[in-house]
C-alpha cells in the first residue's frame, strides 16, 4: 500500500462517515423490523453483518414478514442486488489480482463508495472505495445490533419517519453524480424508465433496467475530467 493509496483510503473514510451515520439509523430500523417480524436478535445481526445491503435486506424482510417464503425473499433480494453486478463489471478493470482476490475486493462494493470512487473516465480509485465502505460497514453492523436489542425503545420505525432516510441517503450520492455534463439527462431517463416499469415488474427490475439509460452517455460530448466530488 503506497502513500497515495493510504491517502485515497483516508479520503474514502472521510467521505464514508456521513453515509455511515445515516446508514446506522437505517440499520437500526432494519434490526427493529426484523425482530418484530420474528427474527431472533442474532439472526437480525447476522443479516446486517453478512449481507450489508439495505435494499436487499428490506425487500426480503417485507416478503417474509408478509407471509412469503424463502425463494420469493431470495429472488427479491437478488433483483435488488442485481445493480451490484453492473457496478462490479464497471469496477473490474480497476482491480488487480487473481479470481480470489478480485472476488474479495468486489465485496467492498456499496452504492456510495462505488459512485464516489468513480474518476469519471470509467476507472475507479479502489482504495478510496475500500475507505468509503469501511466505516459504513461497522456503523451498519452497530445499528443493526442497536435495533435488534432496543426495538422496544425505538418503537415503530415508520411512525418515526425513519423510512425517509433510505431515499435521502441515495439522493446525497446522486447529487454528486449529477455535477458532470450529461448526467442529468441520463438520470432523468433512468428515473422515467423505472417509474414506467413499477406497475408491470417485480421490485428491483425497474432499477436494473433503468441502468440501460447509461447508453445515452455515448451521445454526450466528451469533456475533461469531472470536477472534484465533495460530500
Partner 1 sequence: MNLSTTGVWFLVLGLALTTAFIKAAGPVLVGGRAMPRQFMRVVSFAAAPLLTALVVTSVLADGRRIGVGADTVGVLVGTVLLVCRVPLVVSAAAAVVVTAVLRAVA
- Stretch 70-129 residues interacting with partner 1 (CB under 8 A): 70, 73-74, 77-78, 81-93, 95-97, 99, 102-107, 109, 111, 114-115, 118, 120-123
Judged by beta carbon, residue 3 or residue 79, the one nearer partner 1 is 79
Sole residue written with cell 463508495 = 113
- Residue among 28, 56, 141, 146 that touches partner 1 (CB under 8 A): 56
Site string for partner 1, 8-27 (x = CB under 8 A): ----------xx-xx--x--
**One residue of 7, 150, 215, 227 binding partner 1 per CB under 8 A:** 215
Beta bridge partners of 124: 118
Check binding of 142 to partner 1 (CB under 8 A).
Answer: no
Q: Does 7 bind partner 1 (CB under 8 A)?
A: no
Residues numbered 190 to 209 that lie near partner 1 (CB under 8 A) are 190-191, 193-195, 198-200, 203, 206-207
145 binds partner 1 (CB under 8 A): no
Residue 41 touching partner 1 (CB under 8 A): no
Instruction: Please name which of 59, 55, 60, 35 lies closest in space to residue 45, comparing C-alpha atoms.
Output: 35
* Near partner 1 by CB under 8 A: residue from 33, 146, 148, 210: 210
Q: State which residue, 107 or 150, has the beta carbon closest to partner 1.
A: 107
Could you tell me the three cell numbers for 149? 436489542
Nearer to partner 1, 3 or 224 (CB): 224
Q: Which residues pair with 118 in a beta bridge?
A: 124
Smallest gap from residue 151 Cβ to partner 1 (A) = 15
Among residues 8 and 105, whose Cβ is nearest to partner 1? Answer: 105
Pick from 135, 203, 150, 177: nearest CA to 41: 150
Nearer to partner 1, 8 or 60 (CB): 60
The smaller minimum CB distance to partner 1, of residues 18 and 149, is found at 18
Amino acid at each position: 500500500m503506497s502513500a497515495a493509496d493510504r491517502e485515497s483510503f483516508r479520503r474514502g473514510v472521510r467521505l464514508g462517515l456521513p453515509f455511515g451515520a445515516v446508514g446506522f439509523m437505517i440499520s437500526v430500523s432494519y434490526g427493529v423490523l426484523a425482530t418484530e417480524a420474528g427474527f431472533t436478535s442474532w439472526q437480525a445481526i447476522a443479516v446486517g453483518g453478512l449481507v450489508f445491503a439495505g435494499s436487499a435486506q428490506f425487500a426480503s424482510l417485507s416478503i417474509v414478514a408478509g407471509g412469503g417464503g424463502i425463494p420469493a425473499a431470495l429472488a427479491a433480494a437478488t433483483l435488488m442486488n442485481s445493480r451490484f453486478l453492473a457496478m462490479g463489471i464497471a469496477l473490474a478493470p480497476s482491480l488487480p489480482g487473481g479470481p480470489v482476490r478480485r472476488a474479495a475486493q468486489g465485496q467492498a462494493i456499496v452504492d456510495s463508495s462505488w459512485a464516489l470512487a468513480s474518476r469519471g473516465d470509467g476507472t475507479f480509485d479502489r482504495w478510496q472505495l475500500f475507505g468509503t465502505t469501511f466505516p459504513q460497514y461497522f456503523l451498519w453492523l452497530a445499528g443493526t445490533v442497536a435495533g435488534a436489542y432496543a426495538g422496544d425503545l425505538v418503537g415503530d420505525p415508520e411512525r418515526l419517519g425513519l423510512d425517509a432516510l433510505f431515499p435521502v441517503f441515495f439522493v446525497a450520492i446522486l447529487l454528486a453524480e449529477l455535477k458532470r455534463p450529461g448526467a442529468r439527462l441520463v438520470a432523468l431517463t433512468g428515473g422515467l424508465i423505472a417509474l414506467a416499469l413499477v406497475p408491470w415488474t417485480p421490485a428491483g427490475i425497474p432499477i436494473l433496467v433503468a441502468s440501460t439509460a447509461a447508453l445515452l452517455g455515448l451521445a454526450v460530448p466528451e469533456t475533461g475530467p469531472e470536477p472534484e466530488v465533495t460530500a
